Amino acid sequence: MKVLVTGADGQLGYELKRSCPQYISLIETDQESLDITDSTAIAAAFEEYAPDWLVNAAAYTAVDKAESDQEAAEAINAKAAGLLASACVTHSARMVQISTDFVFDGLQSTPYAPEDRPRPLSVYGATKLAGEQVVSETLPDALIIRTSWLYSAHGSNFVKSMLNLMQSRDELGIVCDQIGSPTWAATLANATWQLIEKGASGIFHCSDNGIASWYDFAVAIQEEAVVTGLLKQEIPVRPIRTRQYPTPARRPAYSVLDKQQTESQIGVIFPYWRVSLRNMLAQLIHE
Ligand SMILES: NC(=O)c1ccc[n+]([C@@H]2O[C@H](COP(=O)([O-])OP(=O)(O)OC[C@H]3O[C@@H](n4cnc5c(N)ncnc54)[C@H](OP(=O)(O)O)[C@@H]3O)[C@@H](O)[C@H]2O)c1
**pLDDT tens by residue, 130-173:** 999 999 999 999 999 999 999 999 999 999 999 999 999 999 99
pLDDT tens across 196-251, in order?
A: 999 999 999 999 999 999 999 999 999 999 999 999 999 999 999 999 999 999 99
CA of 233 to the centre of ligand 1 (A): 32
CA of 57 to the centre of ligand 1 (A): 6
Best probe residue, ligand 1, of 12, 55, 61 (max atoms within 8 Å of C-beta): 61
Query: Relative to the CA of 38, which ligand 1 atom is closest?
Result: 31
Distance of CA 24 to the CA centre of its chain: 22
Ligand 1 atom 34: the closest Cα is on which residue?
A: 31
pLDDT value of position 81: 98
pLDDT value of position 287: 77
pLDDT tens across 6-24, in order?
A: 999 999 999 999 999 999 9
Written in H, E and C, the secondary structure of the chain is CEEEEECCCCHHHHHHHHCCCCCCEEEECCCCCCCCCCHHHHHHHHHHHCCCEEEECCCCCCCCHHHHCHHHHHHHHHHHHHHHHHHHHHCCCEEEEEEEHHHCCCCCCCCECCCCCCCCCCHHHHHHHHHHHHHHHHCCCCEEEEECCEECCCCCCHHHHHHHHHHHCCCEEEECCCEECCEEHHHHHHHHHHHHHHCCCEEEECCCECCEEHHHHHHHHHHHHHHHCCCCCCCCEEEECHHHCCCCCCCCCECCECCHHHHHHHCCCCCEHHHHHHHHHHHHHHC
Best probe residue, ligand 1, of 4, 31, 159 (max atoms within 8 Å of C-beta): 31
Other CB atoms within a 10 A radius of the CB of residue 92 amount to 8
pLDDT value of position 286: 86
* Active-site residue list: 124
Integer Rg of the chain from CA: 19
Query: Relative to the CA of 8, which ligand 1 atom is closest?
Result: 43
Question: Do 54 and 95 form a contact (C-beta atoms < 8 A)?
Answer: yes
Best probe residue, ligand 1, of 83, 150, 160 (max atoms within 8 Å of C-beta): 150
CA of 234 to the centre of ligand 1 (A): 31
pLDDT value of position 276: 98
pLDDT value of position 52: 98
pLDDT tens across 25-76, in order?
A: 999 999 999 999 999 999 999 999 999 999 999 999 999 999 999 999 999 9
Cα 35 to Cα 9: distance, rounded to the nearest angstrom: 12
Question: What's the pTM value of the predicted model, to 2 decimals?
Answer: 0.97
CA of 142 to the centre of ligand 1 (A): 19
Pocket of ligand 1 (CB under 6 A): 6-7, 9-12, 31, 35-37, 57-61, 76, 98, 100-101, 128, 147-150, 155
CA of 180 to the centre of ligand 1 (A): 19
pLDDT value of position 125: 98
pLDDT value of position 9: 96
pLDDT tens across 113-128, in order?
A: 999 999 999 999 999 9
pLDDT value of position 158: 98
